[in-house]
Amino acid sequence: MLICAVLISLGAGVLVAYGICTGMFGIFRMHARQVAAEKMAEDMVTPAQVLKG
């Protein structure tokens, strides 16, 4: 009985950790896309500013 309880709690902990990691990687992916979009927008704006200057 005790072994079953330990295995169930271990399995639950692994599933919770997997969910947290998946969520954090999703947040990191979203952040990386935002940074890339901002960098691309800066690169698009910079040549126009050089022509005006």
- pTM score, whole prediction: 0.63
Query: What is the reported pLDDT for 52?
Result: 60
pLDDT in tens, 1-53: 999 999 999 999 999 999 999 999 999 999 999 999 998 887 776 655 656 65
pLDDT of residue 43: 77
Tell me how far the alpha carbon of residue 25 is from its chain's centroid.
3
Secondary structure (DSSP) of 6-25: HHHHHHHHHHHHHHHHHHHH
Q: Say what the pLDDT of residue 45 is.
A: 65
